[in-house]
Amino acid sequence: MPDVDRVAHGLVPVALREWLGYVWVCLADAPPSFEADVVGAVTERLGDPAAVEHYGMAGLALGRRVTYDVAANWKLIVENFMECYHCATIHPELVEVLPEFARGFAAQYYVGHGAEFAPEVAGFTVDGTAGADRLPGVTDEQDRRYYAITVKPQVFLNLVPDHAIVHRMTPLAADRTVVECDWLFAPEVVASGRDIDRSVELFHRVNQQDFAACERTQPGMSSRAYRDGGVLVPSEHHITAFHEWLQPHSRG
Ligand SMILES: [Fe+2]
């Protein structure tokens, strides 16, 4: 039909970048700066723009992917990920590996700080046994440490010496979010068929524990008493910053 304007009715363009082995898409007509918002979030958390590159994420292979259908708002999942008051009581396996989490302060509170493994722990695994070999670029300072990073709005990065864990959230309703979680290992680890179950199981349990807590919290957050976002103590300044970032964007 020659009278149809193909340009006016063509595909809708989106902003797209490749980074850390993933395709990052922004649907906004005027997307914000990828360097400031995405790369900047990682740099701000780790304190060094080169730090994330040491894990060579773009060259890692997918060892396991688990999809969680969570009956909670995506912002609740973000807040849960950013705080650690709940760690001592609902994450028994995680605090065995990262004892400082039992004290309630999330490592994301401190720029550049990674939570240190317990002295008797050999690897980031559900029973503290050794995982895979340390990734070749990981430095001595990064070894035996766990770094959690929130990349607003919907990605979490988790870095440990021998693998990376990536969460991606897709909100489907005000009270429902699908979370895809990837466990990434060195290609030779995946190709060898080596048992990665104990590595995967640790954060799989953390995910189940966190999402169950979010689902239990969702009904209370749906109350009009919660309409201003609840009460945050000073040590949760990073969650306050998330609220402030969110306000101009949406209340959905
Ligand atoms: Fe948690």
**Cα atoms in the 13 Å half-sphere on the side-chain side of 87:** 21
| H runs (alpha helix) in the chain | 34, 40-46, 74-82, 87-90, 92-97, 187-191, 197-221, 237-246
What's the gap in Å between 1 CA and the centre of ligand 1? 56
Quick check: helix, strand or coil at residue 138? Answer: coil
What's the gap in Å between 138 CA and the centre of ligand 1? 25
**What pLDDT digit, counting tens, does each position of 131-185 carry?**
999 999 999 999 999 999 999 999 999 999 999 999 999 999 999 999 999 999 9
What's the gap in Å between 201 CA and the centre of ligand 1? 15
What's the gap in Å between 181 CA and the centre of ligand 1? 14
Residue 91 lies in a domain: yes
Residue 94 lies in a domain: yes
Residue 233 lies in a domain: yes
CB-CB neighbours of 239 under 10 Å: 22
Q: Which domain holds residue 132?
A: 60-246
Residue 89 lies in a domain: yes
What's the gap in Å between 109 CA and the centre of ligand 1? 14
Query: Which CATH number belongs to the domain containing residue 218 in this structure?
Result: 3.90.380.10
Position with higher pLDDT, 107 vs 73? 73
**What pLDDT digit, counting tens, does each position of 225-249 carry?**
888 778 888 778 888 889 888 887 5
Between CA 199 and CA 203 the distance in angstroms is 8
Residue 136 lies in a domain: yes
What's the gap in Å between 95 CA and the centre of ligand 1? 10
Residue 33 lies in a domain: no
Residue 225 lies in a domain: yes
Bridge partners for 23 per DSSP: 18
Bridge partners for 109 per DSSP: none
Residue 51 lies in a domain: no
What's the gap in Å between 39 CA and the centre of ligand 1? 24
**What pLDDT digit, counting tens, does each position of 22-65 carry?**
999 999 999 999 999 999 999 999 999 899 999 999 999 999 99
What's the gap in Å between 65 CA and the centre of ligand 1? 19
Between CA 121 and CA 103 the distance in angstroms is 18
CB-CB neighbours of 211 under 10 Å: 20
What's the gap in Å between 16 CA and the centre of ligand 1? 31
**What pLDDT digit, counting tens, does each position of 84-114 carry?**
889 999 999 999 999 999 887 665 567 788 9
What's the gap in Å between 30 CA and the centre of ligand 1? 34
Mean pLDDT, the chain, rounded, equals 92
What's the gap in Å between 175 CA and the centre of ligand 1? 19
What's the gap in Å between 191 CA and the centre of ligand 1? 31
- Confidence band of 83 (pLDDT split at 50, 70, 90): confident
C-beta of residue 190 within 8 angstroms of C-beta of residue 62: yes
What's the gap in Å between 72 CA and the centre of ligand 1? 14
Q: How many domains does the chain have?
A: 1
Whether this prediction's pTM lies above 0.85 is answered by: yes
What's the gap in Å between 236 CA and the centre of ligand 1? 15
